[in-house]
Each structure stands twice: as C-alpha cells, then as structure tokens.
Amino acid sequence: MPLTSAQVRAEMAEALGLDLVGPYAEHPLANETLPQAPSRWYLTGFLVPFEAAAEVRSDPTATEEIASGTEGGAGGDDDEAPESASARRVYFPSSIGLSVLVPKASERLEVTVSWGDYKREGADEEEDPEEDPDDEPGTKGKSRRRVWQRTQRTETVSVPLGGRRKKRDEFDVPGSNGLQLVIRERVIGARAAGLAPGGTRVVSLFLVNRRDAITSGPRKDESFAFQAALRVRCAEGFVPRPNPRGRDGEDWDDRVADFQYRDVCEFGGGGTAWPRAWSSPATAAATRSRPPGSRAPRSRRSSPPTCPAWSSAWRRSRPPRPPPS
C-alpha cells in the first residue's frame, strides 16, 4: 500500500531529526555508538556546561557573518578586493525550556527529563598514520580505534507549585551529575486576566547543564547533555494560552478564522524547542530540539471550545457580510 503524503512527510521529518539531533529515548538507536565525538556528528540538540569557557561553549569552525552596508559590485572598484565581513562567534546553548499555564488548583507538576550521555571508550591497538581530530595533539602514529557509546538517561522530578515565586527555584535532576531544573512561577498578568480563568499561573521550566566542564583533551563531550528533552504533566490539565491578537478587530476574514479554529488551542511556548500537547484536556506537553513534522504546538479538541482568546471576537454580534466587490 503506497504511503500517504502525511506519512512521507513524517518519515522525512524523522530522518532529518535523527541526522541533525540524534536518537530519542524510545528509538532503536538509543544505545548507539559513534566513530567520532557526538558534537561533531550532530549539529544541534545538545547542552554545554553553563559555566564552561568560551572555547568549550562555541564551535571554532562556525561563525556568523555580519553583513556590510555595501552589496557586492555596488559602487566599488572591480579591481579592488572587497573587505571581508565582520564575524562573531556562535555559542552552543546551555539550557532548553518551555512555558505553560496551569490552573489555580494545580499543586505540582511531574517533569520527565530525558537526555543522552556519550562516553569515549576503546584503547590503542596498532599504528595509524592518520591524524584523528578528536584526539589530543601530538598523538599521531598511534591507533585511535575508539568509539563514543551512548547511554539513554530518563529521570522524573516532582515540582511543587505554591503561588508567587519571588525568585527562581532550582531542582537537581537525580543521577545527572549536574543537570538542574530551574522553575519560575507567577500569577498571570492583569492584561490577560480576562482571557484566562482566575488564578491562572504562568510556569516556566528550564533544563540547565551545570556540570563541571572538561576544558581540555578529547573527552569534553562527556560533560555535554545530548538530545535533551522535557515532558511536563499536569493532572488538572493545562490552561489554553490566550491569543489577544485581533481580539477587537473588525476584519471579516479574521473573525471567520477565529470562529472556525475556536477549538484549536496552544498550550505551551518555548524559545529553543517546540512544545506539543496531547489529549483533551491537555495534561502533557513536551519539547524536542527539532519540530516533529514541523507542526505547531496545538491540540485539537472534540469538547466545546475553551479557548477564550480565539473565539472572543464572536462573543459580539455577528458582523454583516461585506458586499461583493
């Protein structure tokens, strides 16, 4: 039976994620071995130690060029070589996180943290004239038949909720050797108070790599956390995030769209990852460093609409349809 376009798209997104980020917890390659350092094998999805030196937190081979004000060939001498653009160092992330809205009755969140640890294994066996970029300088001529062995790690942390937090709270991830959950909590602001139930709180959760960095030698990747992900559960269900955009607009098309998608809600937001939510009510949200299928973090619901900001425009009287042009 031929694959549907949706299945082809999902398989392509899965292959892209494995190529750029690596395997996740349930994948058959969760215990893979790599022939070179994982930070060279994978492009993104790993967290470097927060307090590591700049040379550890950045890729020396990658820079972002700052474009100059003159485009090539515009007002310049053809015989004069253009000046090279300024460049700045690109830093790897040290944290990943998301924000959710929880109801007033919620007393705790269950946060599942998953990541992969890679350890360099193997021993010298015979002469090898080629230089290995993962080894220390000056070891040319020795065999480097070594591999990086992945170990899947998953831990659950119970996070209590207790009204306003004047400062962030930190929770150590058990058995992680330095990973921490950083939590911020506050009551929703007055501007959005009318779009969410009373007492709704904003909870932001971040997984931060606070391991001691390995600053020299080929083993620095052992202090990184690869394929890092968070999964957050709320027994009472998350509150849909208000979307005040266009709430008071009079555009017919926008108001029709608000009505048609009144039961499609967003339950989480994140700057470095895509949150996703499942079930109705949405009791779980998760992050991954790649957008699975590049889908937005929304969850379709079969129950009556509970997304006030999406349908707020239709609480007023239905506008007359504009005459045809």
Domain ranges of the chain: 13-55+90-239+268-297, 241-263+301-316
Q: What is the pLDDT of residue 312?
A: 39
What pLDDT score does 308 carry? 44
pLDDT band at 180 (very low <50, low <70, confident <90, very high): very high
Residue at 245: amino acid letter: R
Decide if pLDDT at 181 tops 90. Answer: yes
Cβ count near 225 (within 10 Å): 28
Average pLDDT over residues 163-169: 66
Contact between 260 and 319 (Cβ < 8 Å): no
Cα 12 from Cα 15, distance rounded (Å): 5
Segment 255-262 long-range contacts (CB within 8 Å, at least 24 positions apart): 255/313, 255/314, 255/319, 258/310, 258/311, 258/312, 258/313, 258/314, 259/311, 259/313, 259/314, 261/310, 262/305, 262/307, 262/310, 262/311, 262/314
Model pTM score: 0.73
Query: Do the Cβ atoms of 176 and 110 come closer than 8 Å?
Result: no
Give me the pLDDT at residue 281, please.
72
